[in-house]
Structure 1
Amino acid sequence: MRILVVSDTHRDQYSLEQAVLRQSKAEVVIHLGDGADEADLVKAKFPEKMFLQVRGNCDWGSTLPADGEIVLEGKRIFYTHGYSYNVKYGLYQVCCAAREKGADILLFGHTHQALTEYDNGLYLMNPGSLHGALGTYGVIDITKAGIVTNIVALNGGGQHNWR
């Protein structure tokens, strides 16, 4: 199963549509907030895909939940925007929340800095911001052999601070 992970689109509907089109094999799209309006519009264009969303700190008035959980292919995924866990100041709080929920995969946004790591049984991913010329998104493949995470530059170039 392929999962497309996006965050912080900040009204950039075009980039969100491009990411969905480029990852046509993705069955699930997870939007990690700060883009609820355009996510709803793009969701309507791709009814065959499962869209999961949480609200970000810039999704004013949104009734979306702050966090979400789902089990896909036997792997528990915990996803959040991250601002309520202070991810700009470190990952301890959000990792603790994911571990308390028994997550295999933790997804968060908010910092606009792409990240993919593995930490003692927990896969972490921040897809970065999909907004603008240096936009990035994440791809997760869950197979019988395991989990693979990747960060993809939407426009195929530019400097990115991935760690």
Structure 2
Amino acid sequence: MKLLVFSDSHGNETALFNTIRRYKKDVQTIFFCGDGHEDIETMQKRFSDKKFYIVRGNCDWCCDHPLLLTVTVAGKKILLTHGHAQRVKSGLEHLIMLGHQEQADIVLFGHTHQQLTTADSRMLICNPGSIGFNAEYTLIDIDEATGCITATEYPNNQYGSVIIRPFP
């Protein structure tokens, strides 16, 4: 199962629209890590056949989306947050601790506008970067047969490096 992960659109609906349209046939589930709730809500209406998971960022003042969301997709527990409440600009310690408390397999966050894909002993930790400023996003592929997770970063709408994290 392929998951499309965005964060920090900050009014750039065009980048969101073009990227979702590019993966329309391959992706059924879209994660949005905050800061641009109006943009992603517009995409939710345009692509109503897709499943969207959305959290609120520090710039999303007037919306009902949660600050934190935990869901299970393709057998993997995914923690979604913007990251400002976990102070991710000062380090990932609070975010990683929260991920372990939630027993997450994947932790998705934003806020820093910098792509990051890494892992600790049991969790993939991913910041897709800013779709709004840098046209960055991440595509995650979960192999349901093996449990392996592949995360691919796409900077500036060009194919980026592939990072493979097998978590059986």
TM-score (norm 2): 0.90
User: 2: CA distance between counterparts of 1:9 and 1:77?
Assistant: 21
Quote the residue 2:166 is aligned against: none
Quote the residue 2:11 is aligned against: 11
Quote the residue 2:114 is aligned against: 113
After superposition, give the CA deviation of every residue in 1:109-128 in whole Å (9 maximum; x if it has no partner).
00000000111111010000
Shift of 1:157: 8.1
Paired residue secondary structure (1:113)? coil
Q: Which amino acid aligns with 2:15?
A: S
CA contact (8 A) 2:33 2:57 kept: yes
Paired residue secondary structure (1:21)? helix
Paired residue secondary structure (1:84)? coil
Shift of 1:156: 2.2
Q: Which amino acid aligns with 2:10?
A: H
Quote the residue 2:141 is aligned against: 141
Q: Does 1:60 align with 2:61?
A: yes
Gaps of 5+ in 1: 159-163
Quote the residue 2:35 is aligned against: 34
Shift of 1:154: 4.2
Q: Which amino acid aligns with 1:4?
A: L
User: 1: CA distance between counterparts of 2:69 and 2:99?
Assistant: 11
CA contact (8 A) 2:153 2:159 kept: no
Paired residue secondary structure (2:85)? helix
User: 2: CA distance between counterparts of 1:124 and 1:150?
Assistant: 12
Q: Which amino acid aligns with 1:6?
A: F
User: 2: CA distance between counterparts of 1:7 and 1:19?
Assistant: 13
Relative to structure 1, the CA distance from residue 150 to residue 157 in structure 2 (aligned partners, 3 Å threshold; closer, same or farther) is: closer
Shift of 1:70: 0.7
User: 1: CA distance between counterparts of 2:89 and 2:19?
Assistant: 25
Shift of 1:147: 0.5
Shift of 1:155: 2.9
User: 2: CA distance between counterparts of 1:154 and 1:36?
Assistant: 21
Runs of 4+ in 1 over 6 A off after TM superposition: none
